């Protein structure tokens, strides 16, 4: 089973071609959708659709930049140099022209001749035999990128699991404190109502007010949903391509925590809610990097 993967990573590979070496570098950062940017030597521009397809088959989300560099070997460099025989012929031809036009033949130097040489370019890398080499090079760079993304993903999973467990403990603490908070409020209500009314009328009023208060501050449903979200999130840590699902669950968890916070009538519960909100916010920041 494929484990959690980060959207952040870097991959690099170097491959030999007849005229030199190809270097492929791939860098990925977090984005909501998959965005691919390619930078290729002009001799390899025709392979852009194939390279893009290779990347789309292995990547799901993130802004991914791929750059290909070409470094010619000795034979490649020599192929870039002008032909000596051609230079001699050009020099002879231009000297003849200079003589016929009564120009100074001494001005026919190497820089002058180079202006009239055919346009030179890098050795042709677009032969079919290089297509396979380029694909292999991109695949190797992708392998290295994916390996780094998995390492980053494992670190994120460990951190999220730790914070999730802290949230689970805090939910249990809130659940334990809730009845105590209700009892404290009941006692306060009794004291205040008895001060104002007293007697049997006070007892009837206390029962009504306590019932209304208990319904208003009951957090049973929120706690159950929060515990369910935590369990679902824990299961997602064992899967892959779950960044969006995690983000959705964290939104739902934040909503439940906010609701519990609005019902909290006890200072200790309020402190726990603040700590839980802090942990959820940190988790959301981490989830933004998950594929």
Structural domains of the chain in order of their starting residue, each with its CATH number: 9-75+127-151 (3.30.230.10), 83-114 (no CATH), 154-287 (no CATH)
Residue written as token pair 């397809």: 53
The yes-or-no verdict on residue 45 having pLDDT over 80 is: yes
DSSP-based three-state secondary structure for 83: coil
User: First-to-last CA distance in the chain?
Assistant: 15
Indicate the pLDDT class of residue 119, thresholds 50, 70 and 90: very low
The pLDDT value given to residue 185: 67
Identify the residue with better confidence: 284 or 218: 284
Tokens of 161: 């699991």
* pLDDT for the residue 1: 43
For the entire predicted model, the pTM comes to 0.68
Query: Would the pLDDT of 48 be above 50?
Result: yes
- Considering only residues 245 and 73, tell me which one the structure prediction assigns the higher pLDDT: 245
Token readout for 289 is 């990097």
Look over the chain and give the mean of its residue pLDDT values, rounded to a whole number: 81
What pLDDT, on the 0 to 100 scale, is given for residue 205? 62
pLDDT band at 270 (very low <50, low <70, confident <90, very high): confident
Q: How many C-beta neighbours within 10 Å does residue 145 have? A: 26
> What length does the chain have?
291
The token pair that represents 234 in the structure block: 């824990």
């Amino acid at each position: 089973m494929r484990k959690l993967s980060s959207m952040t990573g870097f991959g690099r590979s170097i491959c030999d071609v007849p005229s030199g070496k190809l270097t492929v570098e791939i860098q990925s950062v977090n984005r909501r959708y998959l965005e691919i940017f390619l930078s290729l030597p002009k001799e390899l521009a025709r392979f852009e659709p194939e390279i893009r397809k290779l990347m789309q088959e292995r990547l799901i989300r993130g802004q991914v930049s791929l750059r290909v560099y070409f470094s010619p070997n000795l034979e490649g460099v020599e192929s870039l140099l002008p032909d000596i025989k051609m230079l001699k012929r050009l020099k002879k031809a231009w000297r003849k022209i200079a003589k016929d036009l009564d120009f100074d033949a001494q001005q026919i130097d190497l820089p002058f001749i180079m202006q009239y040489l055919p346009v030179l370019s890098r050795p042709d890398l677009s032969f079919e035999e290089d297509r396979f080499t380029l694909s292999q090079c991109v695949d190797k760079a992708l392998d290295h990128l994916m390996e780094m993304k998995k390492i980053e993903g494992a670190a994120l999973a460990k951190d999220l699991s730790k914070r999730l467990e802290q949230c689970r403990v805090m939910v249990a603490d809130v659940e334990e404190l809730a009845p105590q908070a209700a009892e404290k409020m009941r006692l306060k209500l009794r004291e205040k109502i008895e001060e104002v009314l007293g007697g049997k009328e006070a007892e009837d009023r206390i029962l009504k007010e306590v019932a209304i208060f208990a319904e208003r501050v009951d957090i049973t449903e929120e706690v159950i949903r929060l515990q369910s979200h935590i369990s679902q999130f824990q299961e997602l840590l064992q899967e892959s391509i779950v960044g969006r699902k995690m983000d959705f669950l964290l939104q739902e968890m934040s909503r439940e925590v906010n609701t519990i916070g609005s019902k909290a009538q006890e200072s200790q519960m309020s402190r726990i809610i603040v700590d839980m909100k802090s942990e959820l916010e940190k988790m959301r920041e981490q989830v933004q990097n998950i594929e």
